[in-house]
Structure 1
Amino acid sequence: MTSIVVCFGEILLRMSPALEGHWLQDARMPVFVGGAEANVACALASWNQPVAYCTAMPDNYLSRDMAAWLEGRGVDTSPVLWTGQRVGAYYLPQGSDLQHAGVIYDRAGSAFAGLAAGAIDWDLVLQDAGWFHFSAISPALTPSVAALCREGLEAATRKGLSISVDLNYRSKLWQYGVSPVSVMPSLVEYCDVVMGNLWAAESLLGIPVDKDVHQQGSKQRYLDHSRSTSEAILARYPRCRRVAHTFRFEKVSEGLHYYATLFSRDGGLHVSREFRTDAVVDKVGSGDCFMGGLIYGGVQGWDPQRTIDYAAAAAIGKLQEKGDSTRQTVAQVLQTIQQHA
């Protein structure tokens, strides 16, 4: 039987208002189911990888509709904890990016943010799992959620699972009086696969980035920095086997360029094909789709080059889809790779 990937994190609703108040004039605002780990789960389900999603939601019709939507996408929601009073949400103007200032979070007091160590029966949730995934977003919410993440990581380690983390850095979420560098390194110690970008590694792990890297501006400079950052992570975290970085650059005259790297402890640096697109429909969820590709390649036992090409192709494909999560099939991702041969 194929082992299950368990994704753990907060389910969210994304409110996507049109700019300049048109959402009020039209009395209309698109709403999407989101959350980094839910997006990863949906990507894996689209590729027929068995996946379960562990989160917390209040037991009301809104949450049940969201759970049914995930089930319809092929995600097992049996690990959902039905508790609390509200689902977290965020507001992001159409066409915006989560890294920019336009995002407004409405997550305080959510069912997930209210979780604490002991709330989840990890042995039950992970009983059929072969892989456990979380992101740096969850430990950013509250110290009690950070403690719960550690509890899950300890359980996954006891069971011999592969563990991955996405170093999502959201400065607006780290509001409980501690530096991310005082929390994340001790959680990354449990991880086999670490994904992010150079700047997240600095913000969350304290691994410095050359302040002039943008001024240098060359692809080779970024690749050299990816190698040195990856080597630093592998030296600091003996369990880690693979480190992935993504690079996304957008220019009006040239469209969007996207490539990624995967540094393997036993195989060195692997660079994906460089992908380009002029058709960016929605910037949300591309990194989550990339993370899903890394996990998918790992579960399939692919070599690093095949894995990084697949993950990067999936990410560029997600930019051409509306909503937080991808619906691409494996065949469509492979076609994207061939188109950029």
Structure 2
Amino acid sequence: MSNTQNTKGSILSFGELLLRICPDGDGQWLAENKLPFFIGGAELNVANALALWDLPARYFTAVPENELTAQILNFLEEKRIDTSAVYRHGNRIGLYYLTRGKDLKHSAVVYDRAGSAFADLKPGMVDWDQVLDGVSWFHFSAICPALSQQAADVCQEVLQAACRKHITISVDLNYRPKLWQYGKRPVEIMPQLVQHADIIMGNVWAAETMLGIEVTPEMHESGQQSIYLKEALFSSERIMDAYPRCRAVANTFRFDAGAGIEYYTALYTGNRFYHSATYTTDTVVDKVGSGDCFMAGLIYGFYQKHDPQQLLDFATAAAWGKLSILGDATTQTVDEVYNTMK
């Protein structure tokens, strides 16, 4: 890791706080005048898990100064997420709408994020040295730079500040095609951000879309775990070659299996390749936040210096367990994750 001299500072998650509005698929919410919501945002989901698992979680986002955001930040503080770095300006919180039970990659997702406080951040606005004071781990995702060139420039600015402070950096290559609407493809933006990362998480298809690491064409039809894992190893090695700072690459594989889900993961670090057990379930309560839970599990393990197989198994069990929890954030304790592993 890049910050061996400073491993026990706080873990800062950087990203937009969102409210997820959840209409049902049949329009019953109109008749009942009820619209369920959850507090979301991929990076906040990571912070939520880490705080729940007793690690020092800190969160950076931008929100307007009003009573609504005061209540939300108080709620996060009660979950032991340090919100002292949150930047206050602008006029609104971002929203997204997702029909209950659907996936974030699904056409059912509708974003309402334009003009939000986070989307209106500009380079030069935030004192990053102050935000990063006492931080030893910085986490971001590919969702922020998907918003606009301006948001991508802010990401670059904070990543450079984190590098100057020798902070360990992780990135989740989550791909949201509906967000990349400003005339740039992810592969034109993400490589210069990912060059700062020590830990890269995603899957082989995200690595292709975001970083131009091509997937073997005939692999798509295979459906065979051994072929997918071999591709994950090949992709991981190429990422390591392309990004010298990178120390670990993680891949997740989540497939719809009839009404349920098949899930397994892989990790390449220290020139060794590890993979998890395969989990299957017929009952999925909420697909949102499973990948964030896996990312949190990776951070948890690396931060605690667990061995690679152990940390991968923990992260995988946490991600799989999240599929049976309603809402964006996990409610699983460390003990509950370990029970899932058994």
**TM over 0.5, yes or no?**
yes
Query: Alignment partner of 2:217: what SS?
Result: coil
Paired residue for 2:161? 155
Paired residue for 1:117? 123
Paired residue for 2:192? 186
Deviation at 1:220, TM superposition (A): 0.2
Deviation at 1:210, TM superposition (A): 2.2
Paired residue for 2:4? none
Residue 288 in 1 paired to residue 311 in 2? Answer: no
Q: In 2, distance between residues paired with 1:165 and 1:2?
A: 19
Q: For 2:217, which of 201, 205, 211 is the aligned residue?
A: 211
Q: For 1:223, which of 229, 234, 242 is the aligned residue?
A: 229
Q: In 1, distance between residues paired with 2:52 and 2:160?
A: 29
Q: In 1, distance between residues paired with 2:319 and 2:125?
A: 33
Residue 50 in 1 paired to residue 56 in 2? Answer: yes
Deviation at 1:69, TM superposition (A): 1.7
Paired residue for 1:297? 301
Q: For 2:88, which of 58, 72, 82 is the aligned residue?
A: 82
Q: In 1, distance between residues paired with 2:33 and 2:293?
A: 31
Query: Alignment partner of 1:13: what SS?
Result: strand
Residue 177 in 1 paired to residue 183 in 2? Answer: yes
Deviation at 1:47, TM superposition (A): 0.2
Deviation at 1:2, TM superposition (A): 3.5
Q: For 1:333, which of 320, 334, 337 is the aligned residue?
A: 337
Identity %: 52
Unaligned runs of 5+ in 2: 1-6
Query: Alignment partner of 2:264: what SS?
Result: strand
Paired residue for 1:34? 40
Deviation at 1:252, TM superposition (A): 2.3
Residue 73 in 1 paired to residue 63 in 2? Answer: no
Q: In 2, distance between residues paired with 1:267 and 1:176?
A: 38
- Where does 1:131-280 land on structure 2 (aligned, <5 Å)? 131-252=137-258, 255-264=260-269, 266-280=270-284
Deviation at 1:211, TM superposition (A): 2.7
Q: In 2, distance between residues paired with 1:276 and 1:282?
A: 15
User: TM-score, with normalisation over the residues of structure 2?
Assistant: 0.96
User: TM-score, with normalisation over the residues of structure 1?
Assistant: 0.97
Amino acid at match of 2:182: Y
Q: In 1, distance between residues paired with 2:332 and 2:125?
A: 34
Q: In 2, distance between residues paired with 1:299 and 1:105?
A: 33
Runs of 4 or more, structure 1, over 3 Å off, are: none
Paired residue for 1:315? 319
Query: What is the root-mean-square deviation of aligned Cα atoms in Å?
Result: 1.1
Amino acid at match of 1:168: N
Q: In 1, distance between residues paired with 2:81 and 2:157?
A: 23
Query: Alignment partner of 2:145: what SS?
Result: helix
Query: Alignment partner of 1:212: what SS?
Result: helix
Paired residue for 1:8? 14
The C-alpha deviation readout for 1:134-175, integer Å capped at 9, x for no partner, is 001001111111111111111111111110000011111111
Q: In 2, distance between residues paired with 1:305 and 1:329?
A: 20
Q: In 2, distance between residues paired with 1:300 and 1:276?
A: 28
Amino acid at match of 1:132: F
Deviation at 1:187, TM superposition (A): 0.6
The C-alpha deviation readout for 1:53-98, integer Å capped at 9, x for no partner, is 0000011111112111211211001111111000000000000000
Deviation at 1:250, TM superposition (A): 2.1
Amino acid at match of 2:66: N
Q: In 2, distance between residues paired with 1:120 and 1:274?
A: 43
Amino acid at match of 1:9: G
Q: In 1, distance between residues paired with 2:209 and 2:76?
A: 32
Amino acid at match of 2:272: G
Paired residue for 1:105? 111
Q: In 2, distance between residues paired with 1:174 and 1:133?
A: 20
Q: In 1, distance between residues paired with 2:218 and 2:31?
A: 45
Q: In 1, distance between residues paired with 2:258 and 2:152?
A: 40
Amino acid at match of 2:327: G
